[in-house]
Amino acid sequence: MILINLLPHREAARKRRKDNFQATLFASFLIGVAIAGSIYFYFQWRLESQQERINYLRTQITQVNQQIKEIQGLEDEIRILRARQEAVQSLQSNRNLPVYMFNDLVQLLPEGVFLNSIKQSGFNVEIRGSAQSNERVSEVLRNLGAQSPYFAKPVLREIVSGSVEVAPRDFRKVVNFVIVFNLVRPNEAAKKLQ
């Protein structure tokens, strides 16, 4: 027997195609949402991991900044200690300078020259004294300038004639003088001697 289908097969085929299309469309939609969601979650995960790295780096930077501040504080302390050490060394090297000065003054003063006062201000020294003649004063100047490594730049500031009472009613004519010179530090004087 021959079977004849009188049912509307075109509409059924169209409905099947439409259902297949809708199913494919819905499946594509779900796959698209799944892909978009996975991309979103992937980038969200990357952002979170990057944020964690940034936070880690920030904490490390703050620690390094604290260490830098500590190092700068230590460098300041080292600088202060070095300045103190240099001051102590300077004091140590200069503590014998008055001894050298008096020793050389005794040896460099010619006969007939007497000192009345010695005044030191830092490395500048002023001596006041009396001499029997102007030649003796010039000899003191020559000796201070050339024969001692501890004296530098002697300058005659003042020279005045005067008189001194040697005995009752016995006055002698003298020359009063003021000489100024600079002291040389012992380590620099040692270099001069070599």
- Same domain? For 143 and 73 the reply is no
Q: Check residue 58 and give its pLDDT.
A: 95
Q: In this structure, is residue 172 part of a structural domain?
A: yes
- Same domain? For 15 and 88 the reply is yes
- Domain end, chosen from 38, 65, 95, is at 95
Which band of pLDDT confidence, cut at 50, 70 and 90, is reported for residue 190?
low
- Same domain? For 105 and 187 the reply is yes
- Same domain? For 82 and 111 the reply is no
Q: Check residue 166 and give its pLDDT.
A: 66
- Could you report the per-residue pLDDT of 69-92, keeping only the tens digit for each? 999 999 999 999 999 988 887 777
Q: In this structure, is residue 151 part of a structural domain?
A: yes
Residue ranges in 95-194 assigned as alpha helix (H)? 97-108, 134-146, 186-193
Number of domains present in the structure of the chain: 2
Using the structure block, give the residue that is written with the tokens 């799944």: 34
Q: In this structure, is residue 4 part of a structural domain?
A: no
Q: Check residue 44 and give its pLDDT.
A: 95
- Domain end, chosen from 32, 60, 95, is at 95
8-state DSSP, 102: H
- Same domain? For 152 and 77 the reply is no
Can you give 35-91 as a three-state secondary structure string?
Answer: HHHHHHHHHHHHHHHHHHHHHHHHHHHHHHHHHHHHHHHHHHHHHHHHHHHHHHHHH
Q: Check residue 193 and give its pLDDT.
A: 54
- Same domain? For 24 and 82 the reply is yes
- Same domain? For 77 and 15 the reply is yes
| Structural domain containing residue 85 | 10-95
Considering only CA atoms, give the Rg of the chain.
52
Listed residue (192, 139, 129) closest to 164, CA to CA? 129
- Domain end, chosen from 95, 128, 147, is at 95
For position 153, which CATH number holds? 3.30.1360.100
CA distance 70 to 76: 10
Rounded to two decimals, the pTM is: 0.50
- Same domain? For 183 and 113 the reply is yes
Distance from the first to the final alpha carbon of the chain? 142
- Same domain? For 36 and 109 the reply is no
- Same domain? For 36 and 60 the reply is yes
- Same domain? For 40 and 76 the reply is yes
- Could you report the per-residue pLDDT of 157-187, keeping only the tens digit for each? 787 777 776 667 777 788 888 888 887 776 6
Q: In this structure, is residue 57 part of a structural domain?
A: yes
- Could you report the per-residue pLDDT of 2-20, keeping only the tens digit for each? 777 667 777 878 888 999 9
- Same domain? For 121 and 142 the reply is yes
Q: Is the model's pLDDT at 49 over the cut of 60? A: yes
Q: Check residue 20 and give its pLDDT.
A: 93
CA distance 123 to 108: 19
Q: Is the model's pLDDT at 51 over the cut of 80? A: yes
Q: Is the model's pLDDT at 189 over the cut of 60? A: no
